[in-house]
Amino acid sequence: MDQVKDKKILLVEDEPELLRMLETILKRDGFHQVFVAPTVSEALSLTAKCRPDAAVLDVMLPDGDGFTLLGEIKKVRDIPILFLTARGEAEDKILGLGLGADDYIVKPFHPREFTLRLSAVLKRTYASAMKNEMPVMTLPACVIDLGKAEVTKGEETFLLTAKEHAILTALCRNANRVVTTDTLCQCAWGDDSYGYENTLMVHIRHIREKIEINPSDPAALITVKGLGYKLVV
Ligand code: CA
């Protein structure tokens, strides 16, 4: 699990080809929550709707500029912001960093440089939170190591799938509290998680097979009827 790649990235660029290229680079490198906007106004409505964790902004946009957009985004979400600047826009760079931009990338750039810079900014911003999200939980029947995405039960070690990991992370973070079915679906499938309740049940069954002594009579991952699930520790 690379949590950096679970972060939601907003790309704002008015050149359609460049925008498509940036999106392709990110998706190829494993970022799976990428949102794109060609204008300031669309970027702002996406910021409100999709709650990105970082934004990459072009400087010159059809209905405004990246610096004003940075200010508007920062008013509603305190997220890291990277600028894409044309070569020679030295003042743009300085101004961008003075405004609170986290980094900038000069066009044209190497695809690898783009994801490396973005990943570095994400790690810097979210490192401590990401560390805290990866606890080791010791249950009577097993040890769940979320950092390694594995469960050790007796002599056996089971690897967690990405969905199982997302579900268990939410349950561990809220140990001894009910986590609703909706919340768990959202953790595993993102904002468009409507209709995944039955699939969630399948994943819960697989998790029980890994963490319970008797999966059909669970002692740790309890169903709370009509509400959701609870991990008892
Ligand atoms: Ca532009």
Instruction: Give the H/E segment covering residue 149.
Output: none
Enumerate residue ranges in the chain where pLDDT < 70: 1-2, 87-97, 128-133
pLDDT in tens, 97-140: 677 788 888 888 999 999 999 999 998 888 766 655 577 889 98
CA 28–ligand 1 middle distance (angstroms): 23
State residue 53's pLDDT score: 95
CA atoms of 87 and 93, how far apart (whole Å): 10
CA 37–ligand 1 middle distance (angstroms): 12
CA 64–ligand 1 middle distance (angstroms): 10
State residue 117's pLDDT score: 92
Which of 73-105 are b and which e, b meaning 16 or more Cβ less than 10 Å from the residue's Cβ?
beeebebbbbbbbeeebeebbebbeeeebbbbb
CA 65–ligand 1 middle distance (angstroms): 9
| Residue 16 C-beta-side C-alpha neighbours within 13 Å | 0
CA atoms of 153 and 142, how far apart (whole Å): 4
Which DSSP state fits 160? P
CA 14–ligand 1 middle distance (angstroms): 5
State residue 1's pLDDT score: 41
CA 66–ligand 1 middle distance (angstroms): 9
CA 163–ligand 1 middle distance (angstroms): 38
Give the pairing type, strands 60-61 and 34-37.
unpaired
CA 8–ligand 1 middle distance (angstroms): 22
Give the pairing type, strands 103-107 and 136-138.
unpaired
Delineate the domains of the chain, giving CATH numbers in brackets.
3-131 (3.40.50.2300), 136-231 (1.10.10.10)
Structure tokens at 84: 């894409």
CA 42–ligand 1 middle distance (angstroms): 14
CA 108–ligand 1 middle distance (angstroms): 13
Per DSSP, the residues of 77-118 read ----EEEEEETT-HHHHHHHHHTT--EEEEES--HHHHHHHH
CA 79–ligand 1 middle distance (angstroms): 21
CA 77–ligand 1 middle distance (angstroms): 23
State residue 127's pLDDT score: 76
